[in-house]
Structure 1
Amino acid sequence: MVLNMKSIFNYFILVYLCGMLVGSAAAQTGLLRYADRKLAEENYLEAGQGFADAYSRKPTFEAAKGAALAYDALRDYPQAYNWWEKAVNFDQAGENDWLNYIAAANRAGEKDAVFAALDTINASGSAAIKNLRLDSLRQWYGSSANAGLKKLDRINSPSTEFGWVKDRQGRVYFTSDRGGESDRDRKALRIDKGYKYYNKSSDWTGRDYLGIYRKDEDGTIAPFEVPISDVFHAADPYPLQQEDVIFYTVTRDIRRTKNYKVHPEVYFSRLDASGNAVDFKGLPVNAPLEYSVKSPFVDESNKRLYFSSDREGGHGGFDLYYMDYDENFEFQDPVNLGPLVNSSGNETDPFVLDGKFYFASDGHPGLGGLDIFVSDIRDGAFAGAKNLGLPYNSPQDDFGYYETEDKRVLVSSNRPESTGWDDIFEMETLFSRFSALLLECDGEPVTGPLDTSLVRSTDDSNVALSNSGNGMLLGELAPDEDYEMLIRKQGFFAVRDMDISTKGLDADTLEKTYQLVRIPYNTAAYVDLVYYDLDESLIRQDAEVPLNKVAELLKTYSFLNVVVRSHTDARASDAYNEALSQKRADAVRDYLAKFGVDRSRISSEWLGEAELANDCGDGKPCSEEFHQLNRRTELLLLAFPEVGKAYDMPEELKNEDLCDISNIQMPEELPTIYFGFDQSELDLEDMMALEKVALMLRNMLNRHLAISGHTDSRGSDEYNEELSEKRALVVKNYLEGKGIASERLVYEFFGKSRPVNDCEEKPCTPEMHQLNRRTEMILPSIPNPKKNGIKRENQ
């Protein structure tokens, strides 16, 4: 059978205590006999002092172990550790004494001593040690926690305080022994021991009775008087949230003539408008002279009362039970929660919230003493017991878990930070885990080096971030703070997020997903053309409109530069034409400068007759119309023109999906080509318009073009369908002749079926018929195969 560490520790302590009652054969001195007697009386304070005095006169194993056991019972952990350390150095010390030494070292916070002892005993092959799951201590101590405990300074005192709960009016109840020394002559009862009568002057601690206290919303703390007479101890208050009723535990003054024990019972009372108890009724399972009933908790939504009891038929010391009840608080028979919750040790302090069952136990594997555990409630059954670990638990006693509606978590503990014997602590978030997943446009994690900063707003301090290398950044954030994030990576837009905050954060982890977008260097965002007269570089009137548009775009979008590529026709020498094209480029630059466009944003190329728009070179005769097409300047507006520069995301594009570069490209006003009656030929104006379309398609390779041909309503359907196809094809063929791949051009023809003006119903003018004889061009929307539903954070 595999036993757990804490059960064995508790078991051996009890065994040794009983053994000391018989008396050690080695206890020959008067001091040892005196200490033995005090130990039998459970007066552990004087017993510990007696064993210590005996040890000072003659160091013996019996004296050291007796002192260790006494200080264990007193929960004086440093003293207990000191005496167990002495005891295990004697040859008489066995495995059981080493177990007690490890437990004492653990409770005293001497983790190095715990691990050293474990290593030593494990190396010796001890069977007892191997069965204790002691390695769980390494796991718990080695785990980082994102929360800590802070004392409730306005409630805690040098006395004992535990069991913080809250009623529906906002009043807080807790248990304390802060009564003072005024009633030292009365008989007192130990509520957590055997419940024999003791005189407080010779009790194991000499402490006062336990009582229930209430803190009102104005901060006033006063005793809460239970309406039961002759009560020594009152503890474990639990007020209902839906009715003005409070449950609690009491130990009554029950007098008998023979030696006996008195056990605690659970009662409940109704509260008046001032919050005072006006009546009382005990549970039907109360049996104060037979067993204990304590730690009430009421699950009102299921009308179920939970409690702790050491009645017969349990699994160990104190077990947890429940009883269902009706609207009149008539209770059914008690039901044991079973072996998944109850152990061979003690279970107490039940609490239920959101399908979770919390309780304290010293019988399940833990860090020492009582620990807090949680079990899932599934279909009315309990699914095991999980230790909450650090910081909820410590090597000392941790119990009294309570969670408010606004997620405040309270626990009680006698850990070393306690002001008194037990204190009430509130869970505080030390940090929230921060995780940021970085994805590229295709949804794959961003790999490689990153330049990141996460800055706390209040003091501009940097939060350390770890980069897993697979697109995940991890860090820790302080509670109730605002942060700013900056992520940079070579070749990607910087990501800024000024909306990171732990204020009001309920979850343990703040998760973010960022999309890093590659900078589309030198992406054509807009194109246009201007034309010149023969042997001229002056800006013509018809060129002012496109140049004005380019100047406006440059002033509006800081991430754009313009490339000015000037050309001539093939007449005159190469040298002359190169010089003339330079003049034309300079004329464009000077024109844009008048609008305040910095010259650094304008780059010029003068190509002379090197890149003709048509086959009019080498003395080949051409019409003036074809020469006109060569006398031109191409205007290319390029986004993010400095390759390698770390661009921030432009303000103008923050709401755009830049995984689709078409969102960078400015809307183009595509021309409509109009034809004469029964014609399908292009004139000079049409060709100049199509030159711009071709320039756009050559520089925006992601774009496709849809072409549709139409006719007016005159003529037969069959004839007009054929004519509309010719009109669509003449445009398509022209663009293919300019180097545009056929698969990027889709054409359709509709005859007279889609007129601009319906001339069948009413007479049309020649101008109205002209508008129907057309070829239209549109840029279809581009489906983005990389779009994957990533939520883009602020960038």
Structure 2
Amino acid sequence: MKKIFIYFLPVILFSAMVCQVQAQNGLLRYAQQKAVESNYYEAANGYAEAYNKKATYRAAKGAAEGFTLLRDYQKSYDWWKKAVEFSDATNEDQLSYIAAANQADKRDEVFEALESKNGKLSSPTTNLNLDSLKHWYGTKANAGVIGVGGVNTTSADFGFTKDSDGNIYFSSDRGGESDRKKRGLRFVKSYKYYDKNSDWTGRDFLSIYRMDESGEIVSLAIPVPNVFHATDPYALQESPVLFYTVTKDIRQSGSYEVNSEIYYSQINAEGQLSDFKGLSINSPLEYGIKNPFVDETNKRLYFSSDMPGGLGGFDLYYMDYNGDFEFNTPVNLGSKINSEGNESAPYLKDGKLYFASDGHIGLGGLDLFESSVTGVRFSDIRNLGIPYNSSQDDFGLFITSENKTILSSNRPESKGWDDIFEVETLYKDFQALILGCNGEQLSGPLEVTLMEGAEKVNIAVKNDGKGKLQASVAPEEDFEIAIKKEGYFSIQDKTLSTKGLKEASLEKTYQMVRIPYNTTAYVDLVFYNLDESAIRKDAEASLDKVAELLKSYSFLNVAVRSHTDSRASEAYNEALSERRADAVRDYLGQFGIARSRIEAEWFGEKEPANDCGEGVPCPENKHQINRRTELLLLAFPEEGKAYNLPPEMKDLDLCDISNVQLPVELPTIYFGFDKATLNVNDMMALERVALLLREMLQHRLEISGHTDNRGSDAYNQKLSEKRALVVKKYLEEKGIAPERMEYEFFGKKNPINDCGETPCTPAMHQINRRTELSLPKLNKNWSKKEE
């Protein structure tokens, strides 16, 4: 018995193999027959079942082709990956595998495969380009897509148009469906006739639907007789007319295909189509015509067709028409627009032609493109990129009167076989203008850092070199920006935010101010006794103030310039003025002021404040004026250093240089009874004023003279004028231009002490005998601490 079993075992195995082969051959014949019938669902699954019986190249490729035509991208990729592993696989199979990998979002495999092909591509990958794909996938999209509410179902929903009453029209096969699971496919063959029982989708035929402003959706009855598919609605705005595409039931003997045609109908008061008329160029047994778009302004109908004479596949055409809808001869849009592939779904808006194509360089499948339109000339073809396009099919762009961009796609986000999407801005457009003090845009290089969120993620910023910055920023997020330019105060803004921002862009204007290097911010003088360098008691308050400012503000240094009178030798005076400068440095050093912040100079007798030069006899009061040290507080003293704007100055207009300078308390000059002469203390006080005006050229001085109330009005008027003029003349002798000083005199009109009803003491009269000094438009005191 055992021998018999051993004898019959090969026979049994051989018989099983024969049965298996016969079973597979049967499945292959079945699948091939379904493919001939364009029933790709049954064909693809038949080949897959045959492959499971026996793994062959023929079965794998058949399944791959079937699932490709079904637009089931993941299965298409899986089966092409199996097919190319066979030695029988052709170069065309390899290219189909690359296309399937792209549509299944296997980017690394696509990039690697394209690099290996070295740019030598043909159909079905002629529209894939390695550099372009890397650019699109590597660029942060400024928008995303969301499904249009109330329209999309688990069926196929695509196309979008709106009439002047706000009604939306679209295409859908929601009329019915089989029990088959949702497939990622699109009706690329929906423009041809197939009997419903053998229709390759297993779904109902396409129809046109209308959704009114309340959201109610109804199916439109197509008045054209014997129609299976009706799709591609386009509603005119200037008249109640709807253009659309149909595929009719035309019965003839023999083998043939019925192609699509374009018709148009009136929309009646009930919103239904009341009549119909087809284009004279319709020829359904020879070629297809689809995707009508009407340019009402120029009376031009655009459409897609594979009529003879095109550049390959479906091309875009237009026909001019008159007021009676009589159409001229079709005109091909030419090689700028049309390719060896398929172009479809034309749409014009604001000088741009939008269309879908699988022939131009894209992301895979049908992509959306735009072209500039001038008359009938088209230029500057541009792929719209992500998110308008995906690795699958994207088509049917429409822009509403509210500037909402609508498109159709079978991308993975679709809830049905095709969905209608609205392009939603995900990122806001950030724009900043950088202006100089004169309001001009600031040209030249800028160092810009834009950071997002708490993690301070850097965002790329474009600078046009002419003072304009642009970036895409996330919604509902906080930002901060830092802008630097050599020789200018840097800008830092931590208040940027898109939280709650409804507008599409966040716009800011910033003013950059040149750093006012070595600007004198404050001045004072100290004086010395004869042949001494010690700091006098009356100088301590001035030096204390300087020390306080230096300690408080790191952007200040002090220039110390010491002088002597002309008595003694020049060498002796040189050394004496140096000792006086050192005394000031030592005094400031007591407060912790570094010597590096004190710029000391000494001039001996070389720069006298008056004409008491060597050999010129002068009274002691004039010599006293020459024994001095000038104190100049310099803001931003290091030329070329990139200073930040001091927080004390953030609210000041630093384009006005005077706002860098601190207000100085100006003296009031008091006079003896019936006098208009200056004593030595007055002269020392006016030396400070002269120094201020020489160093701060933006300031003008107001001088007003007064008297006490004794004497006549006329006499006091003249006396007050003399008192104002004596001050003005003294300052003029110090080099202050007369036009920088204005003087007035009031006699006894404006007393400090009213000596009318109540008699004044001599001291009160003394206060009334004065000349007041003031600087109009005094600066804000940025050194004054907030209480």
Q: 1:116 aligns to what? A: 112
Whether 1:419 aligns to 2:397 is: no
Q: 2:230 aligns to what? A: 234
In the TM superposition, what is the alpha-carbon distance from 1:381 to its structure 2 partner? Answer: 0.7
Secondary structure in structure 2 of the residue aligned to 1:302: coil
1:161 paired residue among 157, 178, 182: 157
Whether 1:218 aligns to 2:197 is: no
Whether 1:515 aligns to 2:512 is: yes
1:477 paired residue among 473, 486, 498: 473
Q: Give the conservation status (yes or no) of the 8 Å contact 1:436–1:514.
A: no
Please tell me the residue identity of whatever aligns with 2:202.
Answer: G
Secondary structure in structure 2 of the residue aligned to 1:175: strand
Please tell me the residue identity of whatever aligns with 2:419.
Answer: D
Secondary structure in structure 2 of the residue aligned to 1:117: helix
Matches within 5 A, 1:218-367: 218-256=214-252, 260-273=256-269, 275-367=271-363
Q: Give the conservation status (yes or no) of the 8 Å contact 1:439–1:446.
A: no
Q: 1:176 aligns to what? A: 172
Q: 1:593 aligns to what? A: none
Q: Rate the CA distance shift 1:656–1:62 in 2: closer, same or farther, 3 A.
A: same
Once residues 294 and 122 of structure 2 are traced to their aligned partners in structure 1, the CA distance between those partners, rounded to angstroms, is 43
Q: Rate the CA distance shift 1:375–1:111 in 2: closer, same or farther, 3 A.
A: same
Please tell me the residue identity of whatever aligns with 1:375.
Answer: S
In the TM superposition, what is the alpha-carbon distance from 1:653 to its structure 2 partner? Answer: 6.6
1:430 paired residue among 405, 411, 426: 426
Once residues 519 and 172 of structure 1 are traced to their aligned partners in structure 2, the CA distance between those partners, rounded to angstroms, is 63
In the TM superposition, what is the alpha-carbon distance from 1:57 to its structure 2 partner? Answer: 1.8
Secondary structure in structure 2 of the residue aligned to 1:29: helix
Q: Give the conservation status (yes or no) of the 8 Å contact 1:484–1:498.
A: yes
Once residues 607 and 36 of structure 1 are traced to their aligned partners in structure 2, the CA distance between those partners, rounded to angstroms, is 103
Once residues 336 and 609 of structure 1 are traced to their aligned partners in structure 2, the CA distance between those partners, rounded to angstroms, is 90
Once residues 119 and 652 of structure 1 are traced to their aligned partners in structure 2, the CA distance between those partners, rounded to angstroms, is 58
2:458 paired residue among 448, 453, 464: 464
Q: Rate the CA distance shift 1:605–1:200 in 2: closer, same or farther, 3 A.
A: closer
In the TM superposition, what is the alpha-carbon distance from 1:731 to its structure 2 partner? Answer: 8.1
Once residues 365 and 495 of structure 1 are traced to their aligned partners in structure 2, the CA distance between those partners, rounded to angstroms, is 42
Q: Give the conservation status (yes or no) of the 8 Å contact 2:452–2:458.
A: no
Q: Rate the CA distance shift 1:287–1:668 in 2: closer, same or farther, 3 A.
A: farther
Once residues 558 and 193 of structure 1 are traced to their aligned partners in structure 2, the CA distance between those partners, rounded to angstroms, is 78
In the TM superposition, what is the alpha-carbon distance from 1:158 to its structure 2 partner? Answer: 1.0
The normalised TM-score by structure 2 is: 0.66
In the TM superposition, what is the alpha-carbon distance from 1:310 to its structure 2 partner? Answer: 2.2
Once residues 563 and 198 of structure 1 are traced to their aligned partners in structure 2, the CA distance between those partners, rounded to angstroms, is 94
Q: Rate the CA distance shift 1:121–1:607 in 2: closer, same or farther, 3 A.
A: closer
Q: Give the conservation status (yes or no) of the 8 Å contact 1:233–1:251.
A: yes
Once residues 227 and 498 of structure 2 are traced to their aligned partners in structure 1, the CA distance between those partners, rounded to angstroms, is 51
Q: Once the two structures are superposed, what CA deviation does each residue of 1:474-497 show, in whole Å capped at 9, x if it has no partner?
A: 854014767554557999354437
Matches within 5 A, 1:658-669: 658=655, 661-662=657-658, 664-665=660-661
Once residues 602 and 105 of structure 2 are traced to their aligned partners in structure 1, the CA distance between those partners, rounded to angstroms, is 87
Once residues 429 and 606 of structure 1 are traced to their aligned partners in structure 2, the CA distance between those partners, rounded to angstroms, is 62
Q: Rate the CA distance shift 1:46–1:424 in 2: closer, same or farther, 3 A.
A: same
Matches within 5 A, 1:176-215: 176-181=172-177, 192-193=188-189, 197-215=193-211
Once residues 168 and 525 of structure 2 are traced to their aligned partners in structure 1, the CA distance between those partners, rounded to angstroms, is 80
Q: Rate the CA distance shift 1:192–1:97 in 2: closer, same or farther, 3 A.
A: closer
Matches within 5 A, 1:494-513: 494-496=491-493, 498=495, 503=501
Q: Rate the CA distance shift 1:481–1:94 in 2: closer, same or farther, 3 A.
A: same
1:492 paired residue among 476, 489, 493: 489
Whether 1:394 aligns to 2:355 is: no
Secondary structure in structure 1 of the residue aligned to 2:297: helix
Q: 2:63 aligns to what? A: 67
In the TM superposition, what is the alpha-carbon distance from 1:170 to its structure 2 partner? Answer: 2.8
Once residues 657 and 108 of structure 2 are traced to their aligned partners in structure 1, the CA distance between those partners, rounded to angstroms, is 60
Once residues 247 and 123 of structure 2 are traced to their aligned partners in structure 1, the CA distance between those partners, rounded to angstroms, is 39
Once residues 192 and 161 of structure 2 are traced to their aligned partners in structure 1, the CA distance between those partners, rounded to angstroms, is 29
Secondary structure in structure 2 of the residue aligned to 1:394: coil
Q: 2:761 aligns to what? A: none
1:39 paired residue among 14, 20, 35: 35
In the TM superposition, what is the alpha-carbon distance from 1:265 to its structure 2 partner? Answer: 2.3
Secondary structure in structure 2 of the residue aligned to 1:373: strand
Please tell me the residue identity of whatever aligns with 2:347.
Answer: F
Q: 1:86 aligns to what? A: 82
Once residues 379 and 385 of structure 2 are traced to their aligned partners in structure 1, the CA distance between those partners, rounded to angstroms, is 18
Q: Once the two structures are superposed, what CA deviation does each residue of 1:132-167 show, in whole Å capped at 9, x if it has no partner?
A: 874344444444433333333532211101112223
Once residues 662 and 429 of structure 1 are traced to their aligned partners in structure 2, the CA distance between those partners, rounded to angstroms, is 46
Once residues 502 and 679 of structure 2 are traced to their aligned partners in structure 1, the CA distance between those partners, rounded to angstroms, is 69
Please tell me the residue identity of whatever aligns with 1:464.
Answer: N
In the TM superposition, what is the alpha-carbon distance from 1:524 to its structure 2 partner? Answer: 2.4
Secondary structure in structure 1 of the residue aligned to 2:347: strand
Q: Give the conservation status (yes or no) of the 8 Å contact 1:340–1:382.
A: yes
**Stretches of structure 2 lacking an aligned partner (at least 5 in a row):** 1-20, 181-185, 568-575, 668-676, 702-725, 746-774, 777-787
Whether 1:376 aligns to 2:372 is: yes
Please tell me the residue identity of whatever aligns with 1:339.
Answer: S
* Count of aligned pairs: 654
In the TM superposition, what is the alpha-carbon distance from 1:656 to its structure 2 partner? Answer: 2.6
In the TM superposition, what is the alpha-carbon distance from 1:302 to its structure 2 partner? Answer: 1.4
Once residues 306 and 170 of structure 2 are traced to their aligned partners in structure 1, the CA distance between those partners, rounded to angstroms, is 23
Please tell me the residue identity of whatever aligns with 1:161.
Answer: D
In the TM superposition, what is the alpha-carbon distance from 1:46 to its structure 2 partner? Answer: 1.5
Once residues 480 and 275 of structure 1 are traced to their aligned partners in structure 2, the CA distance between those partners, rounded to angstroms, is 42
Please tell me the residue identity of whatever aligns with 1:478.
Answer: A
The normalised TM-score by structure 1 is: 0.66
Once residues 634 and 181 of structure 1 are traced to their aligned partners in structure 2, the CA distance between those partners, rounded to angstroms, is 97
Q: Give the conservation status (yes or no) of the 8 Å contact 1:162–1:424.
A: yes
Q: Give the conservation status (yes or no) of the 8 Å contact 2:159–2:171.
A: yes
Q: Rate the CA distance shift 1:149–1:647 in 2: closer, same or farther, 3 A.
A: same
Q: Rate the CA distance shift 1:119–1:461 in 2: closer, same or farther, 3 A.
A: closer
Moved more, 201-210 or 257-266: 257-266
Question: Root-mean-square deviation (CA), in Å?
Answer: 5.8
Whether 1:58 aligns to 2:58 is: no
Secondary structure in structure 2 of the residue aligned to 1:464: strand
2:143 paired residue among 141, 144, 147: 147
Please tell me the residue identity of whatever aligns with 2:284.
Answer: P
Q: Rate the CA distance shift 1:336–1:705 in 2: closer, same or farther, 3 A.
A: same
Q: Give the conservation status (yes or no) of the 8 Å contact 1:438–1:446.
A: no
Once residues 43 and 165 of structure 2 are traced to their aligned partners in structure 1, the CA distance between those partners, rounded to angstroms, is 47
Q: 2:520 aligns to what? A: 524
In the TM superposition, what is the alpha-carbon distance from 1:279 to its structure 2 partner? Answer: 3.5
Q: Give the conservation status (yes or no) of the 8 Å contact 1:371–1:399.
A: yes
Q: Once the two structures are superposed, what CA deviation does each residue of 1:659-681 show, in whole Å capped at 9, x if it has no partner?
A: x634534799999xxxxxxxxx9
Q: Rate the CA distance shift 1:247–1:669 in 2: closer, same or farther, 3 A.
A: farther
In the TM superposition, what is the alpha-carbon distance from 1:87 to its structure 2 partner? Answer: 1.3
**Stretches of structure 1 lacking an aligned partner (at least 5 in a row):** 1-24, 185-189, 587-598, 672-680, 707-726, 737-744, 749-754, 758-777, 780-795
